[in-house]
Amino acid sequence: MRGRNATPAIPDPTIPPRSRARPRDRRCILASATLILSSSPPEGHGGNAAMMGSEVAFGFDSPPETEEMESLALSDAPPTVSSLPAAISASSDGDLFISPPSALHFPLSSTASGDGGDPAPSTASSFLDPPSYADIVFSPFDSQNGDDDNGADNGSMLRRDSSPRSTRAARSDYLKISVSDPNKEQETVNSLVPGGGTYFTYLITSQMRFGSAANGDGESEPVEFSVRRRFRDVVTLADRLAEGYRGFCIPPRPDKSVVESQVMQKNEFVEQRRSALEKYLWRLAEHPVIGMSDELRVFLQAKGKLPLPTTTDVASRMLDGAVRLPKQLFGEGAAAQVAPQEVVQPAKGGRDLLRIFKELKQAVTIEWGGVKPLLVEEDKEFLAKKEKMQDLELQLSTASQQAEALVNAQQDVGETMGEMGLAFIKLAKFETDQGIYNSQRIRATDTKNVATAAVKASRLYRELNAQTVKHLDTLHEYLGLMLAVNNAFSERASALLTVQTLMSDLTTLNIRIDKLEAASSKIFGGDRSRLRKVEELRETIKVTEDAKSCAIREYERIKENNRNELDRLDQERKDDFLSMLKGFVINQVGYSEKVANVWATVAEETSSYARGNS
Amino acid sequence: MSALGGGGGALRNASTALAISSTESFAGTPSCHTKRVRRPPGSFYWLHAVTPAPPLDTTTLKQLVFVSDYAESMIPPEIGPQKSSSQSPRSPSGAPFLSISVTDPVKLGNGVQAYISYRVITKTNLPEFQGPEKIVIRRYSDFVWLHDKLADKYKGIFIPPLPEKSAVEKFRFSAEFIEMRRQALDIFVNRIASHPELKQSEDLKTFLEEDEEAMERIRSFETGIFKKPADLLQMFKDVQTKVTDVVLGKEKPVEETDPEYEKLKHYIFGLEDHLTETQKQAVRLVKRHRELGQSLSEFGKAIKLLGACEGDSLGKVFAELGSKSELLSIKLQKEAHNLLMNFEEPLKDYVRCVQSIKDSFSHRANAFRLHCELTETTKLKEINLEKLNLMRSDKTREAEIEYRELKAESEEATRRFETIIKRMNEEIVRFQEQKTAEMGLAFHLFAKGQAKLANDIADAWRNVLTKIEAYSLSSGHD
């Protein structure tokens, strides 16, 4: 009678089923759970109430704040009621994962019972007092809040609207970005790996704030663009952005999955990736520079195949690569050919090998040789900032771990409270059925009251937890962003290394010219071959000088980008942290008050038992 | 101890007499002495069970300083129903009372020999007791002795349960375990002292008043020499009956078939299952509270460090949040402790009480079996006697004596069985009332504790919220 059957009877929608089964999975779920919340635009056309979304969305469909919450002096904007229906209508456009919010309870509770095979709710109600039970589960706050789900969603929308993130989103050029409708497609070139022949494309719908730049009419109605992209295209976009925006903190792209292709076919995986992509695109759009980039616009708007070059290394360089090689790096022997644009790119694989070796040698010389490079990082302010960022990263990583532990512990309390409530419900039912004596019936009633309160409290804990996850996710997010910061820093370092290499080349060249000149001056009338050599070297120096100044300009540009980005991040982080703390605290206050009320009622009801000892 | 002829009687009637004494658990000759001696007072007690006990003075109970919320309030509700039913116009000040407190647990001895001793303080105005106040030192095994004595003598009464024998070795001397056990022992003796029948027990008086040496002597005398033979005899007897049953191939009505009793048994077994489950969850809830406290404290530390990275006044907000987290962590630990003492422990006690009821089931089953056997045998002897009478055998006289004795024995067994039934019927009512009061209190304390905790949490965070808002205003954000 008790045990397995009963556990799913508390629909547990805020917690994805997997997280119950495997606690270690929680992190990714917590993270992905919040994806939707923070990534969907405040205007509410996220269109993302798919599976992951619904799990979380449920957490917000009962009032996170009622009278107590409102009594707190909130400086939030008035709720945008209109946004809610928008969210719902956007979410119900035929996606197979989508079900209307009101219908979420049962599907979810059965999912929680393990692969949906268990007709859990009916089993549960067959041995439990049905009316009272339903009462507990489905309308626990009737007494406190006459209104239904609407009020709740407004509450959460309201908070979301006031967050700095969404104000940034509001500044973005994009009104809407949504990733939906994952579609399995067949690879045209057959793969040797079984199951590797298929991939998923996602429908990416976006809307610019001020018409589309494509038709050149800034005042026109916002045009909606729909393109289909696969994950590989996203990788391309990320690569192009990394190339084109060195020194910026480019939001990190979702990881390439290392799972097997069979796993990739799973809905769960696809959905996780879908929401991750959406969140990623929103982050890009919110970035003040990248949000306005051509690359992003092309990615979002260009019809058909993505026109961005997949890799500059293979595609474009194979053809004219030989011509555009930075010859000065081969040494003095090769014909001088300027390719300054090359030095503005960090050296990477393929035919850049020579340069890589050179720069590596340079790095080693600086590192181990004790040779003072000609140009050093001397921006004290930057170095201090960098150190601060490293410290921040460390603390962020600890804090996000602890936040996760806290969320897990909070969830455990809620769950255990719920399970205990359930055990008491059964006990109460048993006592009622077997009741012979009056005292027994009184006890059964008391037990039921406590049980009901425990289940209510458990539900509140869960809702609180969903909110806590949402707020503390800022920590995770910034930890992820630290990767971007580190990338920006390493771009700077590599640009510096290029400059250093070129400068040391120049020194070498000059020394050689000096030597040659010295040698030729000993011969009266000059040594023609030596003089020719000197001429050649002078030519190389000229080219290298050009490359150097180009590299220095790039370095300066990156430095500038770094600085701007750090300033921007500092400000945004302050805002985001503040809103995180505020959100966290407000929720704690609100829900704790509710929990306190629930228990205070029971304490009042049972006060007759505590004679003269309170 | 007066040696009456009864002991010899028991020896004389080899199998049947042994059966009696062993099921009585007074097996062996000396206990037969006790039995003979005790019988008249026994029936006197029995009468007392019906007569309402004089009310205890509740005000004096509050003097027990060492008793926790739960333990303290255990007693008044228990006395409550009696008081109301037997309330007389007598002034409460003169009312007889008996209140006991178990205090000052002290660890004595070393290593495996180590044990905890308690100070047991008795305050009473009952004339049977030596004086108004008596203090003795007792250890856990003394409580066990008292429990076992009562369980032997008052079959059918749900003897108040003792706390579990021993926890995991590691926790045996942890402050928490000791305190929990002390509380449970306190409740145990006070339940006995407030039980209308049990409080009249000589053993209780011995337990409360004998000095340590005397107590030791009595215990070793009984447990060392007589208890074990009793067990052996019981075993012997059990085997014997089983063998007889098998040999004779007769299906005996070993179990009662009274539907009311069946229902009760069904109820108790079901109740045990449910209670075990709830108690298990309560244990987990305590654990979860502790874990949350732990996480909150670590979260607070991490947040403080993170805030230090931010430096300025935002850093102060972080620090504030961090300190409050750590503060709340302490509150959570406190509440976890309260939960353990005031909620989990009463639930565990509930389970123990149910187990004590189950003990009385087996006593009842034994008594019933004995009653049936003796009735059966007596009938056979009667037939045999009639036969002998008809035959005018010279064995008639002997057989008649035997029959009379057996008949007396049988009647006694029947009476005992009926006493058990009667007691159980009364006890179950008591049990239900008592548990309603106790659980009501446990629920109350649980709810109160949770409400307080939640309010503390809300207050602490509200405090942080004002700081955050002050910061928002000052820095021009929002």
pLDDT at residue A128, as a whole number: 34
Neighbour tally for A513: CB within 10 Å: 19
Q: Check CB contact of A457 with chain B, cutoff 8 Å.
A: yes
Beta bridge partners of A206: A177, A225
What the block records as the tokens of B371 is: 């009653």
Spatial distance between the Cα atoms of B292 and B287, rounded to a whole number of angstroms: 9
pLDDT at residue A421, as a whole number: 94
pLDDT beneath 70, residues of chain A: 1-172, 187-197, 210-222, 257-265, 309-357, 360, 363-378, 524-527, 611-614
Spatial distance between the Cα atoms of B155 and B130, rounded to a whole number of angstroms: 28
Which is higher by pLDDT, B339 or B68? B339
pLDDT at residue B17, as a whole number: 36
Q: Nearest CA of chain A to the CA of B146: how many Å?
A: 29
Residues of A in contact with B314 (CB under 8 A): 574, 577-578
ipTM of the shown complex: 0.74
Residues of B in contact with A388 (CB under 8 A): 309
Of B62, B267, B281, the CB nearest to A420: B281
Spatial distance between the Cα atoms of B106 and B140, rounded to a whole number of angstroms: 12
Spatial distance between the Cα atoms of B279 and A17, rounded to a whole number of angstroms: 26
Q: Nearest CA of chain B to the CA of A454: how many Å?
A: 9
Q: In what order do the strands lie in the sheet with A198-208?
A: A174-186, A198-208, A224-230
Which is higher by pLDDT, B167 or A324? B167
Neighbour tally for B413: CB within 10 Å: 25
Spatial distance between the Cα atoms of B148 and B343, rounded to a whole number of angstroms: 27
Are B285 and A417 an interchain contact pair (Cβ–Cβ within 8 Å)? yes
Q: What residue of A is the nearest CA neighbor of B279?
A: A420
pLDDT at residue A146, as a whole number: 35
Spatial distance between the Cα atoms of A178 and A41, rounded to a whole number of angstroms: 9
Report the amino acid identity of residue B121: I
Q: Is the pLDDT of residue B383 over 80?
A: yes
Query: What Cα–Cα distance (Å) separates residue A167 from each residue in A481, A579, B14, B94, B465?
Result: 19, 12, 97, 77, 22
Using CB atoms and an 8 Å cut-off, which of residues 46-85 of chain A contact chain B?
72-73, 75
The percentage of chain B sitting over the pLDDT mark of 90, rounded to a whole number, equals 31
pLDDT at residue B184, as a whole number: 92
Are B447 and A420 an interchain contact pair (Cβ–Cβ within 8 Å)? no
- Tell me the pTM: 0.68
Query: What's the angle, vertex CA B397, arms to CA B392 and CA B402, rounded to 5?
Result: 125
The residue whose two tokens read 């009364």 is B426
Q: A600, A608, A441, A428: which is closest to B77 by C-alpha? A: A608
Are B305 and A399 an interchain contact pair (Cβ–Cβ within 8 Å)? yes
Beta bridge partners of A177: A206
3-class DSSP assignment, residue A462:
helix
pLDDT at residue A297, as a whole number: 85
Residues of B in contact with A72 (CB under 8 A): 462, 465
Q: Nearest CA of chain A to the CA of B98: how many Å?
A: 20
Are A416 and B277 an interchain contact pair (Cβ–Cβ within 8 Å)? no
Spatial distance between the Cα atoms of A399 and A582, rounded to a whole number of angstroms: 16
Q: Check CB contact of A466 with chain B, cutoff 8 Å.
A: no
Give the mean pLDDT of chain B: 76
Q: Which residues contact A411 (CB under 8 A, 6 or more apart)?
A: A15, A461, A462, A465
Residues of B in contact with A455 (CB under 8 A): none
The answer to whether B329 touches A429, Cβ cutoff 8 Å, is no
Spatial distance between the Cα atoms of A520 and A540, rounded to a whole number of angstroms: 19
Are A610 and B441 an interchain contact pair (Cβ–Cβ within 8 Å)? yes
Spatial distance between the Cα atoms of A157 and B10, rounded to a whole number of angstroms: 87
Q: Nearest CA of chain A to the CA of B46: how many Å?
A: 24
Are B439 and A419 an interchain contact pair (Cβ–Cβ within 8 Å)? no
Are A420 and B267 an interchain contact pair (Cβ–Cβ within 8 Å)? no
Q: B155, B459, B169: which is closest to B324 by C-alpha? A: B459
Q: Nearest CA of chain A to the CA of B136: how many Å?
A: 28
Q: Which residues contact A356 (CB under 8 A, 6 or more apart)?
A: A347, A348, A349
Q: Nearest CA of chain A to the CA of B337: how many Å?
A: 15
| DSSP structure string for A343-397 | HTSPP-TGGGHHHHHHHHHHHHHHHHS-PPPSS----HHHHHHHHHHHHHHHHHH
| DSSP structure string for B48-72 | HHHSPPPPP-HHHHTT-TT--HHHH
- For residue A518, with 0-12 CB atoms within 10 Å meaning exposed, 13-18 middle and 19 or more buried, which class applies? exposed
Spatial distance between the Cα atoms of A366 and A372, rounded to a whole number of angstroms: 6
Are B439 and A588 an interchain contact pair (Cβ–Cβ within 8 Å)? no
Of B281, B294, B296, the CB nearest to A423: B281
Q: Check CB contact of A127 with chain B, cutoff 8 Å.
A: no
Are A420 and B278 an interchain contact pair (Cβ–Cβ within 8 Å)? yes
Side-chain half-sphere CA neighbours of A446 within 13 A: 26
Report the amino acid identity of residue A216: G
The percentage of chain A sitting over the pLDDT mark of 90, rounded to a whole number, equals 13
pLDDT at residue A166, as a whole number: 56
Residues of B in contact with A409 (CB under 8 A): 288, 291-292, 294-296
Q: Check CB contact of A612 with chain B, cutoff 8 Å.
A: yes
Q: A12, A27, A30, A20: which is closest to A468 by C-alpha? A: A30
Q: Check CB contact of A391 with chain B, cutoff 8 Å.
A: yes
Using CB atoms and an 8 Å cut-off, which of residues 498-557 of chain A contact chain B?
none
- In terms of C-beta distances under 8 Å and separation of at least 24 residues, what long-range contacts does B303-307 make, across chains too? B303/A399, B303/A402, B305/A395, B305/A398, B305/A399, B306/A392, B306/A395, B306/A396, B306/A398, B306/A399, B306/A475
- For residue A76, with 0-12 CB atoms within 10 Å meaning exposed, 13-18 middle and 19 or more buried, which class applies? middle
Neighbour tally for B110: CB within 10 Å: 7
Helices (H), B140-258: 140-153, 175-194, 202-209, 212-221, 228-248
Spatial distance between the Cα atoms of B36 and B52, rounded to a whole number of angstroms: 27
Query: What Cα–Cα distance (Å) separates residue B278 from each residue in A428, B270, B437, B441?
Result: 11, 13, 18, 16
| DSSP structure string for A383-405 | HHHHHHHHHHHHHHHHHHHHHHH
Q: Is the pLDDT of residue B289 over 90?
A: yes
Q: What residue of A is the nearest CA neighbor of B67?
A: A613
The answer to whether B378 touches B400, Cβ cutoff 8 Å, is no
Report residue B237's pLDDT band, with 50, 70 and 90 as the boundaries.
low
Query: What's phi and psi for A12, nearest 5 deg?
Result: -125, 65
Are B440 and A608 an interchain contact pair (Cβ–Cβ within 8 Å)? yes
Q: What residue of A is the nearest CA neighbor of B265?
A: A434
Q: What residue of B is the nearest CA neighbor of A575?
A: B477
Which is higher by pLDDT, B244 or B101? B101
| Four-point Cα dihedral B358, B363, B368, B371, nearest 10 | -170
Are B455 and A596 an interchain contact pair (Cβ–Cβ within 8 Å)? yes
Report the amino acid identity of residue A32: S
Inter-chain CB pairs, A–B, below 8 Å: 233
pLDDT at residue A289, as a whole number: 83
Residues of A in contact with B432 (CB under 8 A): 437, 439-440, 443
Spatial distance between the Cα atoms of B456 and A593, rounded to a whole number of angstroms: 9
3-class DSSP assignment, residue A512:
helix
What radius of gyration, in Å, describes the C-alpha atoms of chain A? 31
Residues of B in contact with A434 (CB under 8 A): 263, 266-267, 270-271
- As a whole number of Å, the end-to-end CA separation of chain B is 90
Q: B175, B91, B271, B309: which is closest to A2 by C-alpha? A: B271
